């Protein structure tokens, strides 16, 4: 198991084809052991760890060379898993969930007690359900929730293929689960649902007009 920054870059990264009979279960086993796994989603490839494991969250920041001020989103397998990671959900957020999940929409909501403080610099958490069979099967096999960011070093282009994820993170993750090119080529749209009215904070495949929630942010 990775125990510190000196170990990053020295893992033997396995390469699994998602279509193989045991690939998803193998990848889920590595997640449950506290090690990072790269996997496909409906937007770009992600790299994830177990969300309630503080050491694994710290490891993910190290793997990506990610600033601690940038929280780690959580991907869910099913809507029933939301209560495990989120606090109160506003009516606006529930409407967006009903209309756009699963899909390329990340919602910022109050986070539930029990998540490691390191996962977010504040009292909120970013969550979504990807519209991708392999991603949801992996997340479900791992327990229903995976803390995940794009499969790349911070500041670099997100991987959209398993080969690109391997090139970016070889030696830094236990497994790359390859399901071919990702259906999308950009990260998800992010909407902040922690105030009275939802606000788009990052435009992705869905625009503010698509979501019916007002203007997009400048720039």
Q: Which residues of the chain have pLDDT under 70?
A: 1-9, 214-219
* H or E, element range at 142: helix 133-142
Structure tokens at 168: 């970016």
Instruction: For 17-30, give the DSSP string.
Output: ETTSTTHHHHHHHH
5-209, which class in CATH? alpha beta
For Cα atoms 3, 32, 192, give the angle at the middle one, nearest 5 degrees.
Answer: 90
Residue 4 is predicted with a pLDDT of: 43
pLDDT of residue 94: 95
Contact (Cβ atoms closer than 8 angstroms) between residue 75 and residue 69: no
Average pLDDT, whole number, for the chain?
A: 93
Whose tokens are 């689960």? That residue is 177
pLDDT 10s digits, 103-132:
999 999 999 999 999 999 999 999 999 999
pLDDT at 31: 97
Angle at 45 between CA 111 and CA 101, to 5 degrees: 50
Which pLDDT belongs to residue 102?
98
Please give the pLDDT value at position 213: 86
Enumerate the domain spans of the chain. Answer: 5-209
List, in order, residues 6 or more apart from 141 with CB less than 8 Å away. 24, 25, 27, 28
């Amino acid at each position: 198991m990775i125990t510190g920054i000196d170990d990053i870059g020295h893992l033997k990264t396995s390469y699994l084809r998602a279509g193989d009979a045991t690939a998803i279960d193998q990848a889920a086993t590595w997640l449950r052991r506290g090690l990072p796994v790269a996997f496909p989603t409906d937007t770009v490839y992600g790299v994830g760890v177990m969300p309630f494991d503080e050491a694994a969250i710290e490891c993910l920041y190290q793997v990506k060379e990610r600033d601690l001020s940038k929280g780690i989103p959580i991907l869910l397998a099913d809507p029933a898993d939301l209560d495990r990671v989120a606090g109160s959900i506003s009516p606006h957020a529930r409407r967006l969930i009903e209309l756009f999940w699963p899909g390329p929409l990340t919602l910022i909501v109050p986070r539930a007690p029990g998540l490691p403080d390191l996962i977010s610099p504040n009292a909120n958490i970013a969550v979504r359900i990807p519209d991708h069979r392999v991603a949801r099967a992996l997340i479900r096999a791992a327990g229903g929730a995976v803390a995940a960011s794009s499969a790349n070093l911070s500041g670099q282009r997100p991987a959209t293929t398993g080969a690109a994820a391997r090139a970016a993170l070889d030696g830094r993750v236990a497994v790359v689960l390859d399901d071919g090119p990702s259906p999308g080529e950009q990260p998800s749209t992010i909407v902040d649902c922690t105030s009275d009215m939802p606000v788009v904070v990052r435009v992705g495949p869905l625009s503010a007009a698509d979501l019916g929630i007002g203007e997009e942010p400048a720039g």
